[in-house]
Amino acid sequence: MSTAAASPSVSRDPGPIAQSALDAITRRLAASAEHYDRSAEFPRADIDILAEEGLIGLTVPVHYGGRGAGLAESLRVLGAIAKGEPSTALILFMTFGLYGHWAARKWPIHIYERLAREAAAGGGLIGGLRVEPELGTPVRGGLPKTVARRTAAGWSITGNKIYCTGSTGLQWFSVWARTDEQQPRVGNFLIAADSPGISIVPAWDHLGMRATVSHEVIFSDTPTPFDHALDVRLPADWVAGPGDHLSLAWNALGISTIYDGVARAARDWLRDYLKERTPSNLGSALATLPRVQEKFGEIEAMLYTNRVLIETAAARADDGATLSAVEANNIKYVTTGNSIRAVEIGLQLTGNPGLSRKNPLERHYRDVLCSRIHSPQDDTILTAAARNAFEA
């Protein structure tokens, strides 16, 4: 079967997007961020803005109408989106990752081309549905309960998925399931979101990242064609192979970038607040106090560390260097921890105003705390780092 890897020009890049354009996008998304946090609805207006800017197909190859962005440029754009509205960024993180040349090389090429062109035209939003009530995240092992059964016309999918990012606004689901064969295979099955036999249970009511609408999706004998089995293998074959390092890098660095963007939005608001807030008993702005300057400097140092780690790793990966899972996930651990701590310092410096819903800092804090839930989680990362060191 011909696959997307057969295209010779997937790496072409028309050049970076101007920083001024990204800053303008951040401001437009930030204007409605409070609304989406309170309503917890799919951020349709944000997606429309990004579609108008031609960014849904950011990672789609140029010859399919996209920008063909590499890892570093994709993360730069993702960070600008996250700084404005992080739930929107997490939804696009899925789409960027699944359409990136590093992830789609094993798709049937006619399927990839169809969806890639949809994304380049401003549609084609896709999400990976992997987590289940019984299994939890597949990162920790085990077969999914969701089953793909062969039929005369293709596959019939039955099962429940939870924490389905973007659920109500996606056009496509990439569903992690096992086959009903005597020796089950596991992999991703592509399902159109308007297929019969799909119901969405509004289960997502979380502390932060509320506009991701990460609801439960139930499949009941949902049909999909034979060729929509995107990448299905024996369980033992699901190990990282040549070329998979880019997917590993995207997952770790993408999550790092989203929550770094949240922390940077918090830092910007905090900087203005500290420069403007002038208590009558002080007679000058809080920003003039050495203690405040020291703590704000701590924020700056952590965000600088984040930027260097993410940008250096992305540039290396784009240049063809292999970023190991341990290395990529260590970056995720350090940067997400820095992002949480940076926003926490903001709360320490502001007191009650920082926790008021009329100010965005409390929203940034709720959002940044969600960095802890993404796989692999800290215990897995640190255990792997220790074992790697002991075995060196």
Region 341-370: mean pLDDT is 97
> What letter represents residue 88's amino acid?
T
**pLDDT for the residue numbered 392:** 84
80-89, 97-106, 129-138, 222-231: segment of lowest average pLDDT: 97-106
CA–CA gap between residue 188 and residue 46 (Å, rounded): 28
Residue 308: how many other CB atoms lie within 10 Å: 11
Three-state DSSP state, 391: helix
What per-residue confidence (pLDDT) applies to 231? 87
Rounded to whole angstroms, the Cα distance separating 70 from 86 reads 21
Taking every pair of C-alpha atoms in the chain, what is the biggest distance, in angstroms? 79
From the number of C-beta atoms within 10 Å of its C-beta (0-12, 13-18, 19+), residue 62 rates as middle
pLDDT of residue 241: 53
Per-residue pLDDT tens for 74-110? 999 999 999 999 999 999 999 999 998 777 677 899 9
The candidate with the shortest Cα–Cα distance to 185, out of 117, 236, 151, 114, is: 236
Phi, psi of 100, rounded to the nearest 5 degrees = -65, 145
- Residue 8 pLDDT more than 60? no
Q: Percent of the chain scored above 70 by pLDDT?
A: 94
- Alpha-carbon gap, residue 228 to 219, rounded angstroms: 15
Q: What is the pLDDT of residue 11?
A: 43
